[in-house]
Structure 1
């Protein structure tokens, strides 16, 4: 029972950390800001694993959906989720799940980094698809505006999340406190 309570607390804490890191944003001309959301989503997957990472990021998405200003630029509500960048937000739980799944199977930093790149694919596809639908642009143009400018920065964030997340999950003060079952 104590472990389940701690798991719920950690999911809430990491949903809050994601909300805080989402506010670190640089607006870009295409309408999609450069944020630390995906960095936070990656760290959550690394530290909490697939199931708890998914739940934590789902809580983050639901907090925003009910109107708490947790998305980039303190935005919130259904409008943010059905807006041009909502596809990115909606795919965050899947992204965290995939990263967590990889981390449950290996401690190898290269494989974890590749898992983050793999997890970025559904995020980019869902984001570009919704951007295309909402703005009425072609998928190609949506990709050019909402994905392409972020790929290099995404790779850098994935590398940093791999390094920082691996260090944190192996740190003696955290090991055992934040844990997940190895698959």
Structure 2
């Protein structure tokens, strides 16, 4: 990767870090946050490789104590807590979305598949950490988030083509048709 690529990754990590803390806390320990929207947009704009690096930088910033996680929290304990699977799952989400940006239709499919992987990884992690059942994990970690995640996917599907045309220098990992 070039210096320009690293700068793009760092800037997107900063954007994630500024917007991801905006969250609504829920009783189960997994908040509704703006993070998934920004992570999907990151994959859409930077592609899978640079998008994954951006998310790695974001996670590292949060782990070392910079309050970039939901609700302006930080610390490596979040990775090991109930929402840790979702935080690590952002890497899967951004990678899948980044691989699926040839057209808007591909992007939508990629976001749906990426979110399914995010849910699966997050649910498994939540069940292990909280020693809960699958039904409890679905109730706490999936069902309240589906409407919001659909809205986030729609927003990314609308905004991405505009940004693809406006900022063509961002992503050289693939060609769009």
Query: TM over 0.5, yes or no?
Result: yes
Given that 1:65 and 1:77 are in contact with CA atoms closer than 8 Å, whether structure 2 keeps it comes out as yes
Unaligned runs of 5+ in 2: none
Over aligned residue pairs, what C-alpha RMSD do you find? 1.3
Given that 1:46 and 1:166 are in contact with CA atoms closer than 8 Å, whether structure 2 keeps it comes out as no
SS at match of 1:64: helix
Q: Which of the numbers 164, 175, 182 marks the counterpart of 2:174?
A: 182
Residue 74 of structure 1 corresponds to which residue in structure 2?
A: 72
Alignment of structure 1 residues 33-112 onto 2, 5 Å: 33-103=31-101, 106-107=102-103, 109-112=104-107
**Could you tell me how far 1:34 is from its partner in structure 2?**
0.9
* TM-score normalised by structure 2 residue count: 0.94
* TM-score normalised by structure 1 residue count: 0.91
Q: Which of the numbers 132, 155, 158 marks the counterpart of 1:137?
A: 132
Identify the range of structure 1 (84-93 vs 72-81) with the bigger mean alpha-carbon deviation: 72-81
Alignment of structure 1 residues 119-158 onto 2, 5 Å: 119-158=114-153
| Alignment deviations for residues 41-87 of structure 1 (CA, whole Å, 9 cap, x no partner) | 00100000010001111111111122221111121111100000000
